[in-house]
Chain A
């Protein structure tokens, strides 16, 4: 393992009008880590991902990727460097087939040499996420769980070093979430560093080695999952006392 973090965020801030959506946030991701990012709605999680991937420029602070300063990069540059993200609201190319959607990721950010190669790689990624049978359907025809998987396959086709997952499980039923959990474990097993934004604590607690908590734009807590869920500040801001109580009982029993 390399000691230098793959992604480092230093004092990142961004205000919209008077609202400080992200306020002086610093953290680092190490190679191969799975880190959870939690926080209430409007805490600034999506904005943080947008800042890291160049969708919105920061008001201040910096982003280092693989030791290189990439603060003011454009999103397409982030993608080619190996910094991929999924959108909270899925963003397919609706009139293209599922296969073409994934091939686009492989061609423009991944390692595909040409379109034929990109489509061959895309098929592998579709099989990996379990969408191979839908390869030739138009992307717009997929139901929501399928579109979430498509979004994942597209990001994987980009051969990322770091994958930022913004609520990929939102709107899925519990069976679908279990499948998604398995999928994310297999992605992590490929050695991809993952930052996962998630509301389902079950997912966060089973997957993450470390958890970051954002509240009103500030990083209010971070550490291993067990200690973060007991942090009084986190309980008050996000989890609620009932959750903490249940969690305490579960750990006591188990």
Chain B
């Protein structure tokens, strides 16, 4: 209950940002929505199915290029974004059958190599993508304030779509089956779960919205190049966000993404010299200190207070 109230409140604050804050804050809010959507996406494969995917930047970059290229052909927004979503979903569904045979570390390595292969492809297919010189994307007319709003609300819409999808999956057969697969894949197979299809569904869901986000990002920054679109840092950051917040929970990825982005922003501003090292150390500490993520820590804290604290207080009152 508290989580959903907090969620709705924070959505209202994000939506109000353009009216009450400057462009810097609006930009930061856009990033909050973008990373939350990516972390929610990762949760399908990493949090529910338990497959440590590092393919996020592959889907993001593919979406960015698919969107940018169609946008440059002259299609109206949001058509290129929808096109990118479909392309990435199909790509992931096809790839899933091959790559999801691998498990554990092998899967992790296999998934990260997708990012590398796609990046090489984008760099070398210069005729289409502009190669290492990058690709300029048509700028949205209407001025920076208007564009800022469009991209904030678009990112927010994808985040909310990813969140609603997650809620649906969490309560459905698919979510239950994925949780079984995470805990014991052989046993899941044995009780009638079509594990290949379930894992492919999770992988496709984890990719789809990354494609949309990548395309929106390309339109937003109006210029992409292979190392920005297929960034190894992004592919590592997103799983960390979900782990930080609470993998396999519906609010965890959002919380983790926001804490991460805000920490990053603070540390960036304060420590110009060693910002990456400090950020890395903070994240490692947080993950080691909270193996179940921030959300589960709250639960653990709640237990003693509700089991011992409150009834104890009540009894005290009664005895008076």
Contacts and interface: CB of A to CB of B under 8 A. Distances in A.
Contact of B190 (A79, A94, A95, A96): A79
B66 to A, nearest CB: 34
B173 A87 contact: no
B173 A107 contact: yes
B177 interface: yes
A5 interface: no
Nearest to B186: A91
Interface residues of A, number: 24
B91 to A, nearest CB: 25
A75 B176 contact: no
Interface in A109-160: 109-110, 115, 154, 158
Contact of B193 (A76, A87, A91, A154): A76
Nearest to B248: A95
Interface string B191-220: 111110000000000000000000000000
A105 interface: yes
A104 B195 CA distance: 13
B183 interface: yes
Contacts of B192: 76, 79-80, 105, 108-110, 158
Interface of chain B: mostly helix, strand, loop or mixed: helix
A74 B179 contact: no
A63 B188 CA distance: 22
A92 B190 contact: no
A158 B183 CA distance: 19
B189 A104 contact: no
B194 A76 contact: yes
Given A93-B179, A108-B177, A75 B184 contact: no
A53 B171 CA distance: 30
Given A93-B184, A94-B184, A105 B179 contact: no
B180 interface: yes
A31 interface: no
B187 interface: yes
Contact of B183 (A55, A75, A95, A105): A95
A76 B192 CA distance: 4
Interface string B154-184: 0000000000000000010100110110011
A107 B176 contact: yes
Which of B171, B176, B180, B192 has most A Cβ within 10 Å?
Answer: B192
Given A92-B184, A107-B176, A158-B192, 14 more contacts: A74-B194, A76-B192, A76-B194, A76-B195, A91-B187, A93-B179, A95-B183, A104-B188, A105-B192, A108-B177, A109-B191, A109-B192, A110-B192, A158-B191
